[in-house]
Chains A and B, each alone.
Chain A
Amino acid sequence: MSIALQADNIVKYFLEPEKFQVLKGVSFDVKQGEFLSIVGKSGCGKSTLLYILSTMDTDYEGSLSIKGNKLTGKSQNELARFRNEHLGFVFQFHYLLPEFTALMNVMLPALRLGRYSKEEVEERAIAKLRLVGMDEYAHKHASKLSGGQQQRVAIARALINDPAIIMGDEPTGNLDKANSTRVFDIFRELAQDNQQTIITVTHDMDFANRSDRIIEMQDGLILDIHEPAR
C-alpha cells in the first residue's frame, strides 16, 4: 500500500511566553486507507502536531510529505490549494461560519475548488450532511445549531471534496456516545471503502482501540506506535 503521509523528525518550538520545545522530533508514516489515532495526555503536543500535518502551521523543523508531495517550504497559497483539494479537517472547537447555513458551510470548500457545478456541489453537500445525520438541518443557520450538531456539520464539510486525508482534532469530543459511534463508523467506512486516510487525535480510548493503529505521545515525543489491543 502507498504512503499517504510521511512526517520526518518534526520539531516545533513555541517562542511565547518563553522558548519551549513542544515537539522534539516526531517521525512516522501513514498508509493510504489507514485509520490512525493519536493519543496522549493533555498538553503533550497532539494538536500542535496535527496543525503541522494539516499544513496550516508552517513554522517547524523537519519535513512533511503527503501523497509523495513534499509540502515543507511551500507557499501559503500553494498549501491552501493543496488543503482545499486533498485535506479535510475537523477542528477541536467545531468552527463553522455563523452567518451561513449548514449547507452553505459544507458547500464553500467545494465551490472554492470548482470541480463541480453549483447544483452538483449542493447535491453532494446534502449527501454528506445525510451521512452525518444532519440533512434535515441543512437550511438552518450554523449559529442556531447545538455544539454537537455543529461538530457533525463540520465533519460533513471535511468530507465534501473527497479528500485523500481527513484529520480530526477530538472530532467526537462534543458528541454523545451514539453520535460518536456514528462518526466512528463513517470514518471506518471512508477508510475501508474509499481508501481515504483518517488521522484523529482523541482521548477516547474506545475510539482509538477500534482504529487501525495508535500513536502514543508523551512530552512532544512518540512513546509508542502499536496496533490496538483487541
Chain B
Amino acid sequence: MNWKLSFKIALTHLVTKKKQSMIAMLGVMFGISMFIIMISFMTGVNQFLEDITMDNTPHVRIYKPIEIQDRKIISEQRAPSERDWYVVQHQKPKNDMPRIKNGLQVMASIEDMPEVKGVAPLVASQVFYNNGPVQIPGTINGIDVRKQIAVFGLDTKMDFGKLEDLLKGGDMLVMGKGLAEKMGVSVGDRVSVTTPEGNNLTLKVAGIFSFGIAAMDETRSYATLATVQKILQKDPSYITDINIKMKDVNAASVFRKKLENQIPGVYVEDWETANASILAGDKIRNILTAVVCITLLTVAGFGIYNIMNMNIINKMKDIAILKATGFQGGDITGIFLLQSLMIGVAGGVLGLLIGFFFSYLLSKAPFPAASFFRISTFPVNFKLSHYVAGLSFGFLTTLFAGYFPSKKASKIDPVQIIRG
C-alpha cells in the first residue's frame, strides 16, 4: 500500500469538498475544545476544594466522643442475679469529659512514628460569643501556636493581625472573618465568650483569618491552649483532639487502623471519612466531565460517520475508477480513513488551541463568589496530560467513525458502477 499516494488523494478529496470537510472538522473541534475546557475547570475545582479542605483537615484526627454507654451504671454496683430486673428509662450520658487520657504523652509518642509528618494538639469547646444581648454560637479552639503553624500553616490564612501575637500572652484570640463581621469587631476589639458551663472570659481580638469555607469562618476562633484551658477551667494536660499530618496522604486510613489498635478509648478518624462528602463531590464532577465529553465526542463521531458515508456515496464513481485502474481494497480504505483522520487531527489540534484559549480566559475571569472562597479567579488546571488525552480521543473517535465507511468503500464493486 502506498500511503503517500493515498494521502495525496485523500487531501485532494478534502480540499475539493471544503465545506463538508470544515463541518466535520468543526464537530471534532467543538468536542475537543469542550473536553479541554470542562476537564480543566472541573479538575481545577476539584483541586481547589481538595486544597482548601486538605489545608484544614488533619489527615488523621484523634478525639474522644461522648456516647451513651450501653453498660448500665446501676448494674455495675451489684452482681446481677437471675431474679434482678433493671429498667432504665431515658438514660443520659455520663458526665464525661471529651478529654483524651494522657493526651500529651500520646501525642509525643505519635510524633515519633515514622509515617507522621507533624502532630498538633487541640482543645475544642463550644462557646457563645456575646454580642451585646445576642449570643452567637460557635467553637473556640485552643492550639499550640507553633505546631499549628508548622503542621497546618494556619498563619497563611490570616487576613489581619498575626497569629504569633497570641504567644505574647494575655487573653487573646483570632477569629474567623465571617464571625468577626457578625460580631462587628475588628483587630484590637474585645469580645466576651461564654462556655456551656457558664464560665465567662473577655478576650482581645489579635487577628482575623479566613479559610474560604463559610462554615468555619463564621463560627471558629483560635486561642492558645492555655487560654482555652483557662476558659474551661481545666488543667494544662487537658486536650480534646490530636491532629496528625501524614507524610503520605494516602497512608492515612492504614495509619488510622494502627492507631485504633494502639490507643484505647478514643475515636480515630481519617480524612477520607471526614471528607466523604467532598470526595463524593469530586467523583460526581469527574463522572459529569466524562459523560459530557464522551457525549460530545460521540456526537462528533457520528457527524464524521455520516459525512464519510455521504462522501463515499458521492465518490462511488471515483472509487470504481481507482479500482479499475489497479487500486486495491486496502488503498481505498487508506484513502478514506486518512480523510477521516485528517479531519480528526485538524479538528483535534484546533480544539486544543480553542480549549486552551477559553480555559485561559476562564482562569483570568473574576470568580463571582470570591468573597466566600479564598480565590479571586476561576480555578482552572492546565495539564499536558489533558491535552494529550484530548488529541488521542479526537484521533480515536475519528479513526473509529471513519473505519466502517472506509471499509465499505473498499468493498465497492467497480463493474456495478461502471456498467451504469
| Chain A residues packing against B (C-beta within 8 Å) | 47, 51, 54, 56-57, 76-77, 80-81, 83-85, 89, 91, 93, 95-100, 108-109, 111-114, 157, 161
Contacts and interface: CB of A to CB of B under 8 A. Distances in A.
Interface string B1-27: 010010001001100100000000000
B326 A80 contact: yes
Contacts of B330: 77
B260 interface: no
Interface stretch (B58-66, B193-201, B221-229, B313-321): B313-321
B324 interface: yes
Q: How many B residues touch the partner, as a band?
A: 20 to 34
B217 interface: no
Contacts of A111: 2, 5
Given A84-B325, A97-B318, A112 B418 contact: no
Contact of B322 (A51, A85, A108): A108
B71 interface: no
Contacts of A93: 418, 420
A99 B320 contact: no
A80 B327 contact: yes
Contact of A112 (B5, B16, B320, B414): B5
B374 interface: no
Nearest to B325: A109
A198 to B, nearest CB: 18
B168 interface: no
A181 B320 CA distance: 29
A97 B321 contact: yes
Given A100-B12, A112-B2, A91 B418 contact: yes
B156 interface: no
B325 A83 contact: yes
Contact of A56 (B9, B322, B328, B415): B415
A81 B326 CA distance: 5
A161 B325 CA distance: 10
Contacts of A77: 328-330
B331 interface: yes
A112 B329 contact: no
B419 interface: yes
Contacts of B329: 76-77, 80
Contact of A157 (B13, B16, B325): B325
